[in-house]
Amino acid sequence: MKLILLLWQREGISIIRNTFQIIMLSTVFLLGMYAIYYGHSKITEQQKTIKNVEQIEKEEFEHYKKSFYRDHTSVKEKQLFDIASKPAYAWYRHGYHAILNPHSLAHMSLGQRDIEPYYYKLTGMSLYYQLFQIELANPLKLYAGNFDLSFVLIYLFPLLIIAFTYGLYAEEKENGMLPLLRLQTIGLRKILLIRMAFYYVLIVGLGILLSSIGFLVSSELDVLSIFLWISAILCYLSFWFALMFLLISLKKNSSLTAISAASLWLLFLIVLPAILNVYANLVYSIDNTSLAEITRRKGLENEDDVNESKAVIFEYLQNRNDLKGADSLIEINIMAKAYAAFTALNDNHHRKEVSDYFDQIRLRQKRISAFRWANPAVNTQGILNEIVETDSEIFQSFYQSIESFHKDITSFYFDKLFLNKEITSKDYETLPKFNLKIDSQDRNQKIRNGFIEIMVATFLLFGLSWILFNKTTF
């Protein structure tokens, strides 16, 4: 224990005397603080937007509910009451918001939250027109980088590890200190591991410190997410220390060790992700040309042709066996029914195209994730995004939940519209509500597999390094 403290004291003094290392630590810490600020400002801006749209929706429906208790003497009050009570107007005027609220730690790993839409305003009109009229986050932008805390931890911290550990053995040899170290009773390998343990505590401690600051600025503390986040950081940084231990065990000169480490950093963080993206674009390209027609606003070819309107309504009612007797009520609000039927039929017509489009995205994501085990950096980024719910899969779940929500909206209004029933004040107590449906079991399985893959790679590297150290010669 005394030797450990002595070696750690020596390393601490060495850092204090090394201005460059102090500057590196300070710079990374400041960049980490800025990354927390940047991520927090992005999420805070989104939270403000979400509160605004929620307030707009709340005030809109409050006005509708109050209109039931007014005299309706003025034209404005009469119009508001008609929109509130008559489904012929309400189905395309009442606006609902489907919102993907940010996780309490989303600011630490923004993932897709600054790329994908996180809320949609929906009416009873065509779902796909509303969904695709703004860009449905281009799937080709998957894994786009953000300057958040996860970026600092994944990209910059390995550089710290390289800078502080690449010369632990070679520099002692080059400075003539190796013979003195060989005189110690505990052996060179243990001395090296003790010195590496000092930098492990220092750098991992800095990562946990920055993470703790990120936890403190969050709106609420999610204990499980905090535990998983810290575990992911420990696994990832441990991998890089094991990798450096392997390079040091080869006992090459300090320059070659540093160059080799920098090359591996480029390989894991730049080259392999770029190759994977190119491979995915070529092999699993996503064709969204079929969606172009969906984004064009459409209407009945001849609005004045009553027979055409009736034909559209009858075609829609053929798919709605639950609306018995609606065909005999067709003469009332015929144009409103025709447009409602047309939008529903239009969605039915394009449903397979949209389903195929999302299937392409899911297949692409599945194939890409199959390669995560080969790159701990990408694996860790995926784990962090999954922990704080900013990954691509959460947005796919969001879109699927929107489809279910839109079905509830159309059922609420269309059932009344085609059966000539008015909306009552009591109906406002049972308005459609958006619910996000997530496959938590699948997400937890992906996180667990990611941890196992990184830990296995770390233990293999450490075991190989332990064996090589005594077998190699300078």
Domain parsing of the chain, residue ranges: 2-471
Q: Residue 45: its pLDDT value, please?
A: 95
- Helix extents (H) in 139-187: 149-151, 157-165, 170-174, 178-182
Q: Residue 460's pLDDT band (boundaries 50, 70, 90)? A: very high
Is the pLDDT at 138 greater than 60? The verdict is: no
Rounded Cα gap, residues 190 and 211, in angstroms: 30
CA dihedral 332, 338, 344, 345 (to 10 degrees): 130
Contact 405, 411 (CB under 8 A): no
| Choice among 35-39, 129-133, 249-253, 310-314 with the minimum mean pLDDT | 129-133
Q: What percentage of the chain reaches a pLDDT higher than 90?
A: 54
**CA separation for the pair 312, 298 (Å, rounded):** 14
Asked whether residue 10 carries a pLDDT value surpassing 50, the answer given is yes
42-72 per-position pLDDT tens digit:
999 999 999 999 999 999 999 999 999 988 8
Contact (CB, 8 A) for 377 and 438: no
pLDDT category, 4, cuts 50, 70, 90? confident
Please tell me the distance from the alpha carbon of residue 345 to that of residue 326, in angstroms, as a whole number.
17
pLDDT in tens, 311-338: 888 888 888 888 877 877 888 888 899 8
pLDDT at 139 exceeding the cut of 50 = no
Given pLDDT bands bounded at 50, 70 and 90, which one contains residue 178?
Answer: low
What tens digit of pLDDT does each residue of 360-407 get?
888 888 888 888 889 999 999 999 999 999 998 999 999 999 999 999
**pLDDT exceeds 60 at position 24:** yes
CB atoms within 10 A of CB 161: 23
Instruction: Give me the mean pLDDT over the 397-420 stretch.
Output: 93
In 3-state terms, what secondary structure has residue 409?
A: helix
Q: Closest Cα partner for 151 from 22, 36, 280, 267?
A: 36
pLDDT value at residue 85: 94
Does the pLDDT at position 135 exceed 80? no
What is the DSSP code (8-state) at residue 102? P
User: Please, which residues bridge with residue 438 across strands?
Assistant: none
138-147, 252-261, 271-280, 413-422: least confident range? 138-147
- The predicted structure's pLDDT at residue 136: 45
Q: Give residue 388's pLDDT.
A: 95
Asked whether 100 and 394 are in contact (CB, 8 A), the reply is yes
Give yes or no for residue 137 having a pLDDT over 50: no
Burial class (CB in 10 A: 0-12, 13-18, 19+), 402: buried
Q: Element (H or E) spanning 121, and its range?
A: strand 119-122
pLDDT bin (cut points 50, 70, 90) of residue 303 is low
74-92: pLDDT as tens digits: 889 999 999 999 999 999 9
Task: Tell me: pLDDT of 194 over 50.
Answer: yes
Beta carbons within 8 Å of 344's beta carbon, 6+ residues apart = 316, 410, 414
Per residue in 100-134, pLDDT tens?
Answer: 999 999 999 999 888 889 999 999 998 988 888 65
Mean pLDDT, rounded, for 228-233: 97
Three-state DSSP at 258 gives: helix
Q: Which is higher by pLDDT, 185 or 13?
A: 13
**The pLDDT value given to residue 141:** 41
Average pLDDT, the chain: 87
Query: Quick one: tokens of 371?
Result: 């390669």
In sequence order, the 6+-apart residues with CB closer than 8 A to the CB of 122 are: 95, 96, 97, 98, 130, 402, 405, 406, 409
**Residue 289 scores a pLDDT above 80:** no
Give the pLDDT confidence score for residue 185 in this predicted structure.
Answer: 59
pTM above 0.85, yes or no: yes
pLDDT given for residue 293 in this prediction: 66
Burial state string for 270-309 with b = 16 or more CB within 10 A and e = fewer than 16: eebbeebeeebeeebebebeebeebeeeeeeeeeeeeeeb
**Is pLDDT of 341 > 50?**
yes
